[in-house]
Amino acid sequence: MTKAAIISMTQTLALELGGAGVRVNAIAPGIVETKFASTLVNNAEIMKRFNDRAPLGRHGQPDEVAPLCVYLGSDESSFLTGQTIAIDGGWSST
């Protein structure tokens, strides 16, 4: 439910703020090895279920997500707004 709310908010804010030149996008990461996700990453049962379903068969690393953040914050993404980009090893496509 919260993901649906984030997607909806992203699209709504993009529509409302686009005329002012403000771009609004969201990143939907899968499990990424961070301190915040350490409880998941360090749980072998959870990681097996995740890895068995994920097409790439593994969780992500922060340095795999960071370039997307930099891109969205740069002028290179000047024609991109209202999007939620999944960076999850293919999890959302299964």
| Domain count for the chain | 1
Measured CA to CA in angstroms, residue 37 lies from 12, 44, 70, 90 at distances of 29, 13, 21, 18
Q: How many CA atoms lie within 13 A of 7 on its CB side?
A: 9
pTM of the model: 0.87
| Domain containing residue 65 | 2-89
What CATH code is carried by the domain that includes residue 17?
3.40.50.720
Question: What pLDDT digit, counting tens, does each position of 37-60 carry?
Answer: 999 999 999 999 999 999 999 999
Residue 19 included in any domain: yes
In order along its 94 residues, the chain shows pLDDT tens digits of 888 999 999 999 999 999 999 999 999 999 999 999 999 999 999 999 999 999 999 999 999 999 999 999 999 999 999 999 999 999 887 7
Close Cβ partners of 28 (under 8 Å, ≥ 6 residues apart):
3, 6, 84, 85, 86, 87, 88, 92
Residue 94 included in any domain: no
